[in-house]
């Protein structure tokens, strides 16, 4: 599965547009991680627990989006974007979406 943020894929011809595909995940913060993040906020630096959580969330959302595209018969997704939003205090959604296409 080719996944790109552009509307075209260099060297490929889009022969069929199948429609919108998306994948999402909702993650909640962990109290223990929040304490460490607060301490890190005082001294500065990367909050590695959150970096890891967001990376895992992106991969899960991408995987779910690609699975939906495959079920439609796509072999590529163009125009991929990510959006995040707060669902409730301490929990956020990460959404990946794009257009499923068939390329040759």
Q: Please give the distance of CA 11 from its chain centroid, rounded to a whole number.
A: 25
- The more confident residue out of 86 and 103 is 103
Can you tell me the mean pLDDT for 2-23? 98
Question: How high is the pLDDT of residue 73?
Answer: 98
The answer to whether the CB of 33 falls within 8 A of the CB of 98 is: no
Question: How high is the pLDDT of residue 42?
Answer: 65
The answer to whether the CB of 75 falls within 8 A of the CB of 5 is: no
pLDDT one-digit tens code per residue, 16-55: 999 999 999 998 866 555 555 566 566 677 777 788 888 9
Tell me the whole-structure pTM to 2 decimals. Answer: 0.84
CATH number at residue 59: 3.30.110.70
Name the helix (H) or strand (E) containing 50.
Answer: helix 48-71
- pLDDT reading at 5 higher than 60: yes
Question: What is the count of structural domains for the chain?
Answer: 1
Distance CA(97)–CA(101), nearest Å, equals 13
């Amino acid at each position: 599965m080719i996944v790109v943020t552009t509307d075209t894929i260099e060297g490929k011809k889009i022969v069929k547009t199948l429609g919108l595909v998306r994948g999402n995940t909702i993650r909640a913060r962990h109290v223990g991680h929040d304490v460490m993040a607060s301490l890190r906020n005082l001294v500065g630096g990367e909050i590695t627990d959150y970096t890891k959580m967001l990376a895992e969330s992106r991969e899960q959302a991408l995987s779910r989006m690609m699975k939906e595209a495959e079920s439609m018969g796509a072999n590529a997704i163009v125009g991929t974007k990510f959006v995040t939003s707060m669902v409730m205090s301490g929990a956020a959604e990460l959404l990946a979406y794009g257009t499923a296409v068939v390329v040759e």
